[in-house]
């Protein structure tokens, strides 16, 4: 049924685009002059809010939304709504402050998600594939962990009395969400079954164990069930599939341990119970794990069992906003990343449209007066689109002219990845029907089993109190300082990223809360 829905969506998209007409008013210079004047007037009215935010919403379109992905998402989302494309703003486009963020790791010019998560969540750049530790820690060397741990902004917010949460479409033990709570020299140590004996003997903990032991996280929503249960435990959704069983060699039931810690805790694994639990005022802590590993792509989602990113975000906000001291929420559209790695633009871009829907919902449910919201990526991908395509033509379609080899090519291409192919010594031809297939892998210049990240800067969108601090071209480590953990916030201590000492003079008391009720 889900596949039929995707096909109908694409057929409808193709029909609407075939009827697309360029608006006549765009031929008149006055149209563009009025638009520019309106933008200038809006800019003049911007007044930086220097009040410390009561709540912080960190939306990382993470892994994995470079500027080309943002633009392509804008076009696809508009075209799915019957519009031409590039002129229609995304939810994040309405954020008034913008900057560029440098994404390199200490030891890599082109980064991975673990090192970048450490940078933007802990304020310290790190080495490739390490999380929550400084660059003094070495990949895969457990004995370099201790003493090199760095503290995340989420931990800092919790110590300031705020409620905190993590929402992701990946497994909750994945590199980016793990950056909020974990310290590990190997991002792939999801459970103890993934760790070498030497690391276990040296006292290093797997990421799933750290999820429930390192700090008190009020809301945890995403995938990753199998890493929380004893080896061989049947999965509730796939009880006859042994590959989805629990993996823990230590036979610990981490979900049960987590539930035992809090009187108002509830664990859920499907959409219906999630919505019910989030509406129950007696629920103080909520863990929802909706797949054994990563959650399904939006295009493949079971609409009955699996919540969307928007629904998870709304549920998290409903629980977290009960704390009068405010909250910090990390939201990740993480499967954008997997779609790009697979070289399948349709999957990446439909994930990105869902991510923008979640941003829109969060903006509706929070107040710009007291909630600082950042939207950014941890890194970009080798993804591009070009070919002088006509305005209104599908972002997933073909360029209007043939290449030098006489064959058609798609507007979207990858620099490397699984889309590389040769047919009798040259690249294969492609037609519109193929390029519009949701499973189509766009052609790539270099053959790789998985497309790689890219190293250019990524955009940071900001709104709310102190959002004006987001400006220019900055190190990725700068964004952690944009999140004051309390009303009297002070600069972040260097290197160890530990919570700073109390300041001598407190900042002004914040304005009355403008948080909207979440119901």
- Per-residue pLDDT of 480-512, as tens digits, reads 766 654 332 322 233 333 333 433 333 333 333
Rounded to an integer, what distance in angstroms lies between the CA atom of residue 450 and that of residue 341? 5
Query: Is 379 annotated as contributing to ligand binding?
Result: yes
Q: What is the model's pTM?
A: 0.88
* Residue 319 forms part of a structural domain: yes
Q: What average pLDDT does the structure give for the chain?
A: 88
Closest-CA residue to 113 (of 169, 175, 171):
175
- Per-residue pLDDT 10s for the chain (519 aa) are 454 444 444 444 544 444 457 889 988 888 888 988 888 888 888 777 777 776 665 544 454 688 999 999 999 999 999 999 999 999 999 999 999 999 999 999 999 999 999 999 999 999 999 999 999 999 999 999 999 999 999 999 999 999 999 999 999 999 999 999 999 999 999 999 999 999 999 999 999 999 999 999 999 999 999 999 999 999 999 999 999 999 999 999 999 999 999 999 999 999 999 999 999 999 999 999 999 999 999 999 999 999 999 999 999 999 999 999 999 999 999 999 999 999 999 999 999 999 999 999 999 999 998 899 999 999 999 999 999 999 999 999 999 999 999 999 999 999 999 999 998 889 999 999 999 999 999 999 999 999 999 999 999 999 999 899 899 999 999 887 666 543 323 222 333 333 334 333 333 333 333 333 333
Rounded to an integer, what distance in angstroms lies between the CA atom of residue 260 and that of residue 254? 10
* Residue 77 forms part of a structural domain: yes
* Residue 103 forms part of a structural domain: yes
Query: Is 432 annotated as contributing to ligand binding?
Result: no
* Residue 207 forms part of a structural domain: yes
For Cα atoms 311, 313, 315, give the angle at the middle one, nearest 5 degrees: 70
Closest-CA residue to 294 (of 357, 257, 336):
336
* Residue 399 forms part of a structural domain: no
Rounded to an integer, what distance in angstroms lies between the CA atom of residue 124 and that of residue 497? 7
| CATH code of residue 185 | 3.40.720.10
Marked catalytic residue, from 49, 58, 59, 113: 113
- Per-residue pLDDT of 470-482, as tens digits, reads 999 999 998 876 6
The position carrying tokens 């700090």 is 215
Chain centroid to CA 194: 24
Rounded to an integer, what distance in angstroms lies between the CA atom of residue 301 and that of residue 256? 27
State the DSSP H helix or E strand holding residue 289, giving kind and residue range, or none if neither: strand 285-289
Catalytic-residue membership of 113: yes
Rounded to an integer, what distance in angstroms lies between the CA atom of residue 506 and that of residue 121? 24
Three-state DSSP at 90 gives coil
Query: Is 453 annotated as contributing to ligand binding?
Result: yes
* Residue 265 forms part of a structural domain: yes
* Residue 136 forms part of a structural domain: yes
Query: Is 341 annotated as contributing to ligand binding?
Result: yes
* Residue 359 forms part of a structural domain: yes
Cβ proximity of 288 and 274 under 8 Å: yes
Rounded to an integer, what distance in angstroms lies between the CA atom of residue 290 and that of residue 280? 19
Cβ proximity of 178 and 132 under 8 Å: yes
Tally of CA atoms within 13 A in the half-sphere of 492 that contains its CB: 25
Rounded to an integer, what distance in angstroms lies between the CA atom of residue 264 and that of residue 404? 65
Q: Domain containing 256: what range? A: 55-382+452-482
Rounded to an integer, what distance in angstroms lies between the CA atom of residue 486 and that of residue 507? 10
The domain total for the chain is: 1
The position carrying tokens 């709540």 is 55
């Amino acid at each position: 049924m889900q596949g039929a829905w995707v096909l109908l969506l694409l057929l409808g998209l193709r029909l609407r685009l075939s009827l697309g007409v360029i608006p006549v008013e765009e031929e008149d210079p006055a149209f563009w002059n009025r638009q520019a004047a309106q933008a200038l007037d809006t800019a003049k009215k911007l007044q930086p809010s220097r009040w410390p935010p009561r709540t912080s919403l960190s939306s990382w379109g993470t892994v994995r939304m470079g500027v080309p992905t943002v633009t392509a998402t804008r076009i696809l989302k508009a075209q799915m709504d019957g519009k031409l494309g590039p002129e229609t703003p995304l939810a994040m486009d309405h954020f008034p402050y913008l900057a560029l963020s440098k994404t390199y790791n200490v030891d890599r010019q082109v980064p991975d998600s673990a090192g970048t998560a450490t940078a933007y969540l802990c304020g310290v750049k790190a080495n490739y594939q390490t999380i929550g530790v400084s660059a003094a820690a070495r990949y895969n060397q457990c004995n370099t962990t201790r003493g090199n741990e760095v503290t995340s902004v989420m931990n800092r917010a919790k110590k300031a009395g705020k409620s905190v949460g993590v929402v992701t479409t990946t497994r909750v033990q994945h590199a980016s969400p793990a950056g909020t709570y974990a310290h590990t020299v190997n991002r792939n140590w999801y459970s103890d079954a993934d760790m070498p004996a030497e690391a276990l003997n040296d006292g290093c903990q797997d990421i799933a164990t750290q999820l429930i032991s390192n700090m008190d996280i009020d809301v945890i929503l995403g995938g990753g069930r199998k890493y929380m249960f004893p080896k061989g435990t049947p999965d509730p959704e796939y009880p006859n599939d042994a590959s989805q069983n629990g993996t823990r060699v230590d036979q610990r039931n981490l979900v049960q341990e987590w539930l035992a810690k809090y009187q108002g805790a509830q664990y859920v694994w499907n959409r219906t119970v999630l919505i019910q639990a989030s509406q129950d005022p007696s629920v103080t802590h909520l863990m929802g794990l909706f797949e054994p590993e990563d959650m399904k792509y939006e295009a493949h989602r079971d609409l009955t069992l699996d919540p969307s990113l928007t629904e998870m975000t709304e549920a998290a906000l409903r629980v977290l906003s009960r704390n009068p001291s405010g909250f910090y929420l990390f939201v990740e559209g993480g499967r954008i990343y997997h779609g790009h790695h697979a070289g399948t633009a349709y999957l990446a871009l439909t994930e990105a449209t869902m991510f923008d829907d979640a941003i829109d919902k969060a903006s509706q449910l929070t107040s710009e007066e007291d909630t600082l919201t950042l939207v950014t990526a941890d890194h970009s991908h080798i993804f591009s689109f070009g070919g002088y395509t006509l305005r209104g033509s599908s972002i997933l379609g073909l360029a209007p002219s043939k290449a030098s080899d006489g064959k058609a090519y798609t507007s979207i291409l990858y620099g490397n990845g699984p889309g590389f192919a040769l047919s009798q010594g040259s690249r294969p031809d492609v037609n519109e029907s193929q390029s519009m297939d949701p499973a189509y892998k766009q052609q790539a210049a270099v053959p790789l089993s998985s497309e790689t990240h890219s190293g250019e800067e990524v955009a940071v969108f900001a709104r709310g109190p102190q959002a004006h601090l987001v400006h220019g071209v900055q190190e990725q480590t700068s964004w952690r300082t944009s999140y004051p953990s309390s009303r009297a916030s002070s600069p972040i201590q260097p290197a160890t990223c530990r919570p700073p000492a109390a300041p001598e003079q407190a900042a002004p008391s914040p304005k009355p809360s403008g948080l909207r009720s979440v119901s």
